[in-house]
């Protein structure tokens, strides 16, 4: 990418973060071929908060309607939900998620993020997973950030089919199709 003027870079940065608010300063610096400090100064001038604040803002706008799980019960950090339509969560792979020798993420953590998202997206007080078809596309390593997106594909009575795709940046690393059941006659205590 050729060197961009500050004005053009800031315009592109603003547009990119409007559409994809979860880029880190390091990822943005690499994308625009500038220093991390330059990205931080650009964000400051544009009034764009740092990543944690952007995540918090997105989450606060959309998580109040969750029914089947609380935000704390979702594996990863839930950042968007439109009940019975779609949901997004992010999870950074840390030491607790990986095998100590290889630093590769244990599969059950990746599955848990996807499964909890498939349950959380459903507009019901009690939702259980009845079946799942999953595929791990490639190993995930320590320090990588997973972005899982769930989309409700169909609903037939009390049963819904939810497709979850997990990516690192634009690369698909996991897919799952979950059949989830809305449980009637559930009274929360």
CATH of the domain at 40: 1.10.10.10
pLDDT value for 35: 93
Domain presence at residue 188: no
> What tokens were used for 27?
């990822």
CATH number of the structural domain spanning residue 82: 3.10.129.10
pLDDT value for 184: 75
Domain presence at residue 127: yes
State how beta strands 127-136 and 171-182 pair. antiparallel
Least-confidence region, from 40-44, 48-52, 65-69, 137-141: 65-69
As a three-state string, the secondary structure of 20-79 is: CCCCCHHHHHHHHCCCHHHHHHHHHHHCCCCHHHHHHHHHHHHHHHCCCCCHHHCCCEEE
pLDDT value for 188: 53
Q: With pLDDT > 90 as the criterion, what percentage of the chain qualifies?
A: 61
Domain presence at residue 162: yes
Are both 12 and 73 inside the same structural domain? no
Are both 163 and 101 inside the same structural domain? yes
**Average pLDDT score over the chain:** 88
pLDDT value for 73: 79
pLDDT value for 61: 54
- Bigger pLDDT: 136 vs 53: 136
> Which of 6, 5, 4, 42 minimizes the C-alpha distance to 23?
42
- Residues 71, 76, 79, 85: is their CA dihedral positive or negative? negative
**74 pLDDT tier (thresholds 50, 70, 90):** confident
Are both 22 and 90 inside the same structural domain? no
**62 pLDDT tier (thresholds 50, 70, 90):** low
Residue 113 predicted with pLDDT over 90: yes
Are both 67 and 34 inside the same structural domain? no
Q: How many domains does the chain have?
A: 2
**162 pLDDT tier (thresholds 50, 70, 90):** very high
Are both 33 and 68 inside the same structural domain? no
**Cα–Cα dist 153/23, whole Å:** 27
What is the span of the domain harbouring residue 75? 56-182
Are both 84 and 175 inside the same structural domain? yes
Domain presence at residue 125: yes
Domain presence at residue 1: no
Residue 129 predicted with pLDDT over 90: yes
Are both 67 and 29 inside the same structural domain? no
- Rg over CA atoms, the chain: 18
- Bigger pLDDT: 72 vs 100: 100
**150 pLDDT tier (thresholds 50, 70, 90):** very high
- Whether residue 125 contacts residue 68, with contact meaning beta carbons closer than 8 Å, is answered with yes
For residue 167, the number of C-alpha atoms closer than 13 Å in the C-beta half-sphere is 10
**Cα–Cα dist 4/32, whole Å:** 8
Are both 10 and 38 inside the same structural domain? yes
Least-confidence region, from 53-57, 92-96, 113-117, 150-154: 53-57
Helix (H) or strand (E) holding 125: none
């Amino acid at each position: 990418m050729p060197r961009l003027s500050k004005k053009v870079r800031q315009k592109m940065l603003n547009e990119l973060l409007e559409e994809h608010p979860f880029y880190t300063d390091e990822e943005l610096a690499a994308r625009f071929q500038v220093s991390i400090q330059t990205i931080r100064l650009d964000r400051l001038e544009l009034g764009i908060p740092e990543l944690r604040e952007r995540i918090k803002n997105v989450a606060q706008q959309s998580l109040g309607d969750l029914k089947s799980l609380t935000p704390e019960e979702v594996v990863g950090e839930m950042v968007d939900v439109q009940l019975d339509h779609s949901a997004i969560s992010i999870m950074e792979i840390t030491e607790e998620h990986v095998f100590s020798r290889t630093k590769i993420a244990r599969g059950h953590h990746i599955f848990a993020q996807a499964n909890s998202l498939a349950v959380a997206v459903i507009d019901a007080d009690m939702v259980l997973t009845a079946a799942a078809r999953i595929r791990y596309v490639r190993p995930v390593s320590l320090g990588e950030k997973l972005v899982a997106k769930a989309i409700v594909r169909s609903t037939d009575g009390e049963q819904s089919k939810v497709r979850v795709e997990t990516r690192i940046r634009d690369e698909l690393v996991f897919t799952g199709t979950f059949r989830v059941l809305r449980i009637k006659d559930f009274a929360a205590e």
